[in-house]
Amino acid sequence: MSTFALAIGVGTQNKKGEWLEVYYPKPVINPSDELLNAVRETLGYVGGNQALSLNIALMHTFQDALEAADPAQAAVARELGQAEMHRKLVVTILEEDTTSTSTPEVYLKLHLLSHRLVKPHGINLTGIFALLPNVAWTNKGAIDINELPEAQLKAHVKGEILSVNSVDKFPRMTDYVVPTGVRIADTSRVRLGAYLGEGTTIMHEGFVNFNAGTLGSSMIEGRISAGVVVGNGSDLGGGCSTMGTLSGGGNIIIAVGEQCLIGANAGVGIPLGDRCTVEAGLYITAGTKIQVLDENKELVETVKGRDLAGKSDLLFIRDSISGTVKCLTNKSAIALNEELHANN
């Protein structure tokens, strides 16, 4: 069985020697036998999921072993071998994609997502919150929350500015990974572990959480919550929302299909198929009562939002007089009725 992933990284520890974060320039999925042999012979790796700490001297030895085995990783080791003494070097190996047991393992999985090496829901992220410390992300790097007052004092004494950009378990994605072919107007609104497809634009009010994102060209002016995946060609209007697994969606995986439009200040709490539109200001949840109309705008039946989950070519609107939520479709009354009840 092949090894799942491997990466060489450099990171930050607090004064207790606990990991705060790790940066992996070039993670690898399914590393070659030659690369794994170099890890075994140089670092004493004997199997399992491990984060192996290195000093500068050992990194140089590892670099020499990599020259023939994997020139690309040797180049990474060469660069990281120049790290300042307070920086911590690590080689993390995930033999299997199982529940993480260390902070370096979690950071590797988040890097794999943002490097587009795995897609959202394509990797085991069970239990990651307990392994991600709450960190002060500053212009001087990651600082342990308990060590922040001392760092601020030292900075002010020197007449320096220690700017705290955020206090969070997740850093900005762009401080670690900048995927090709994307635009991000406000980088603070995209967390490490987001997956952004080629051609995606994230406008100033757009937000993308970890284990979520876009699979192709999309214009995002709303929120892509944790676990939500948006298909190619779909647009999320200003201030709109997608209900994620962390915001009331439970274990339901919310997805938006291809060529969909969610209007400004609208939202979805059900998965959408392809070519669906939700009008501005309308929030569809699993329990929303919806009148389904056919191509002649005749009532087929009244259903709940969950009954329309994942279906394509739907237009959701709200009657301006009665407030009734309606769904128009190009399907015939008979065909739609059969499709609705086929899943019951």
Give the residue numbers annotated as catalytic, written as ranges: 221
Residues 6+ positions from 179 with CB-CB distance below 8 Å: 114, 115, 116, 196, 198
SS3 letters for 271-312? CECCCCEECCCCEECCCCEEEEECCCCCEEEEEEHHHHCCCC
| 184 close to 202: Cβ distance less than 8 angstroms | yes
CB 233, CB 243: distance < 8 Å: no
Both structure tokens of 146: 């308990």
d(Cα 28, Cα 6) in Å, to the nearest integer?
5
Q: What SS3 state is found at 8?
A: strand
Q: Could you tell me which residues are beta bridge partners of residue 166? A: 137
Q: How many C-beta atoms surround the C-beta of residue 250 within 10 A?
A: 9
